[in-house]
Structure 1
Amino acid sequence: MAVSFRGKTANQTSVQEFILLGFTNHPELQMLFFLVFSIIYTVAFMGNLLILLVIIADSHLHTPMYFLLGNLSFIDMCYMSGTIPQMLANFLRESKTISYSACMAQLFALISCVGSECILLAAMAYDRYVAICHPLLYMVIMNRKVCLQMVAASWMGGFLNSFVHTLLTSALTFCGPKEIRHFMCDVPPLLELSCTDTALNNTVLHTASVFIGISPCLFIVISYIFIVLAILRIRSSEGRHKAFSTCTSHLTVVITFFGTALFNYNRSNAGYSLDIDILVSTLYCIVTPTLNPIIYSLRNQEVKGALRKLLCRKQAMF
């Protein structure tokens, strides 16, 4: 049947919905997966929400570092909410379909959050660099205007990157098969399904990975090199140990997030494995947002103190 698809006519039938294969390699474990990921999603969402509320409620936390942390928590909440609910719903139903428009919407939300988090993590590394290497100038350099510009740049960068990828992906023709080898709509698995040329899409994808992924990652690494050099000049062994512990925790999250995200968007189709792809995506889509509240906030004495005050205040009200 000849159809017109976004201004093109071809002897092809356009795909109006996709099937998310997800974890269908293990049908006997669907309910277990549902329970595990439901718990992880609930804990991660509530943890990030709690951190965000504590930072907003406590005026002592209205500083550049916690302003950036609050935005990271908000991004992580959006990040997970754009992908995990659809995945959980698919665990409970036989038809694991998603409409074309919903798939494009999920793609836009996912890429926006990935790009925004990459840039924001770089901004947070710069904040720590200034705080440790130039403590006397910290409030001058990291003033309110600069913080707002950093957050605005992270969101604008994420939205612009996502807009380009979503626009290019929606311009492709999908004429079957319609099974997405993933638990969410993402660029690489969608490019595999297209029956039109994807050379431009792949070029833009790898170019964006350099600017949105590799560049912020290198910036973070360089920032932490200067931070470590500054820490080594600390005379107190206890102070050095505490600083190194914090840096190690932060770098663990950064390496996990950037390493898995860059692997996902720059991998070769040769030797593709659905299980490996899902594992990699789970690490940066679910595990990292779960670890962020623990690594960046809940191990912080100021945040824990503010949380105790907030809970005591709530108890006093009742």
Structure 2
Amino acid sequence: MFNQSSPEGFLLLGFSEHPGLERILFVGVLVSYLLTLAGNTLIILLSVMDPRLHSPMYFFLSNLSFLDLCFTTSCVPQMLVNLWGPKTISFVGCSIQLFIFMSLGTTECILLAVMAFDRYVAVCQPLHYATIIHPRLCWQLVSVAWVMGLAQSTVQTPPTLHLPFCPHRQVDDFVCEVPALIRLSCEDTTYNEIQMAVASVLILVVPLSLILVSYGAIARAVLRINSATAQRKVFGTCSSHLLVVTLFYSSVIAVYLQPRNPYFQERGKFFGLFYAVGTPSLNPLIYTLRNKEVKRAFRRLLGKNGESRET
């Protein structure tokens, strides 16, 4: 049930106090979105079409790419409209964006933890990898990530939308997010802030802790390997995921765990922009540029296309 006290929707301020910056950001966001569409679509195609990439690692990677495609598409088109022209968004549109944005963001937090677990088993228990990370478990882990994302959004979206918003309806952000909508309320938001803090611990801190524990175990296992070549191979396999985790979690923590003062809120917009636009476009670049198997699969795909055109 929607909050009927705001039937006319909201005004997304974004970076409206810097009109020149908005034009630059429009170009940057558009380019990043196109890279996101191209890069993540390519990874999904390679993971599906190349039999050599039919492994748990690339199954999780293709899910991450699909998630990034949905994540950016839920907010970037509206963001481009706001950067170039009218900055309004209907209440229904804001509600849908908030629900999808939160659901997919939560799913990505959990999926990155699942991918860290996959790397842990591959490095620390290689002889049992095929037995532990079997196809059924892969589907179960991915399903848990998506269901938990949906559940988190279902729990937190209604209380946020039922807040009594100030008459000016000016959201000091470029998307409808929980922190910005809580700041828009003219009444006590203690309950919502506590709920957001608890959710942040469960969705951010717990998965991140599991990732750090997994990589701590991986680091110990790698240091016990006598071969420098084998060490570099393991680090090369894990470094891409670790870099993605660092970029994603640093930006998310900066958005959702920032202190409530104007300085951090202003900086939080840039972190939020990077979280929504930057990381989904960088993820495929990180995995393709640092992953020899993906590059080989891409060359094989080009070779097949060339052969088909010749015939």
User: Which interval holds the TM-score relative to the shorter structure?
Assistant: over 0.9
Distance of aligned partners of 1:60 and 1:216 in 2 relative to their CA distance in 1, 3 Å threshold = same
Kept in 1: contact 2:103–2:149 (CA 8 A): yes
Q: CA RMSD in A?
A: 1.8
Kept in 2: contact 1:130–1:138 (CA 8 A): yes
Q: How far does residue 195 in structure 1 lie from its aligned partner after superposition?
A: 2.6
Answering whether residue 206 of structure 2 is matched by residue 218 of structure 1, we say no
2:45 matched residue in structure 1: 53
Please state whether the residue corresponding to 1:19 is helix, strand or coil. strand
Kept in 2: contact 1:15–1:175 (CA 8 A): no
Q: How far does residue 115 in structure 1 lie from its aligned partner after superposition?
A: 0.4
Answering whether residue 68 of structure 2 is matched by residue 79 of structure 1, we say no
- Count residues in correspondence: 308
Q: How far does residue 289 in structure 1 lie from its aligned partner after superposition?
A: 1.3
**Aligned with residue 41 of structure 1, among 30, 33, 57:** 33
**Aligned with residue 281 of structure 2, among 270, 274, 290:** 290
**Aligned with residue 200 of structure 1, among 184, 188, 191:** 191
Q: How far does residue 236 in structure 1 lie from its aligned partner after superposition?
A: 1.6
2:17 matched residue in structure 1: 25
Deviating 4+ runs (over 4 angstroms): none
2:241 matched residue in structure 1: 250
Deviations 1:189-247 (A, max 9, x none): 10011133322211111111111110000000000011011111222212223433444
2:267 matched residue in structure 1: 276
2:226 matched residue in structure 1: 235
Answering whether residue 163 of structure 2 is matched by residue 172 of structure 1, we say yes
Answering whether residue 139 of structure 2 is matched by residue 148 of structure 1, we say yes
Name the CA distance, whole Å, in 1 between partners of 2:267 and 2:114.
31
Kept in 2: contact 1:176–1:193 (CA 8 A): no
Structure 2 unmatched ranges of 5 or more: none
**Aligned with residue 294 of structure 2, among 300, 303, 312:** 303
Name the CA distance, whole Å, in 1 between partners of 2:131 and 2:233.
26
Deviations 1:25-50 (A, max 9, x none): 21023332211211111012210110
2:117 matched residue in structure 1: 126
Identity of aligned residues (%): 42
- More divergent stretch after superposition (139-148 vs 233-242): 233-242
Distance of aligned partners of 1:120 and 1:6 in 2 relative to their CA distance in 1, 3 Å threshold = closer
Name the CA distance, whole Å, in 2 between partners of 1:312 and 1:40.
28
Kept in 2: contact 1:132–1:227 (CA 8 A): yes
Distance of aligned partners of 1:259 and 1:229 in 2 relative to their CA distance in 1, 3 Å threshold = same
Name the CA distance, whole Å, in 1 between partners of 2:144 and 2:293.
27
Structure 1 residue identity aligned to 2:29: F
**Aligned with residue 98 of structure 1, among 82, 89, 112:** 89
Name the CA distance, whole Å, in 2 between partners of 1:73 and 1:206.
28
Distance of aligned partners of 1:275 and 1:200 in 2 relative to their CA distance in 1, 3 Å threshold = closer
Distance of aligned partners of 1:249 and 1:65 in 2 relative to their CA distance in 1, 3 Å threshold = closer
Name the CA distance, whole Å, in 2 between partners of 1:14 and 1:33.
29
Q: How far does residue 278 in structure 1 lie from its aligned partner after superposition?
A: 1.4
Q: How far does residue 177 in structure 1 lie from its aligned partner after superposition?
A: 2.2
Please state whether the residue corresponding to 1:185 is helix, strand or coil. coil
Kept in 1: contact 2:113–2:211 (CA 8 A): yes
Kept in 1: contact 2:40–2:66 (CA 8 A): yes
Structure 2 residue identity aligned to 1:102: G
Structure 2 residue identity aligned to 1:229: R
- More divergent stretch after superposition (218-227 vs 284-293): 284-293
- More divergent stretch after superposition (262-271 vs 138-147): 262-271
Name the CA distance, whole Å, in 2 between partners of 1:258 and 1:167.
25
1:107 matched residue in structure 2: 98
Q: How far does residue 133 in structure 1 lie from its aligned partner after superposition?
A: 0.6
Kept in 1: contact 2:258–2:265 (CA 8 A): no
Structure 1 residue identity aligned to 2:307: A
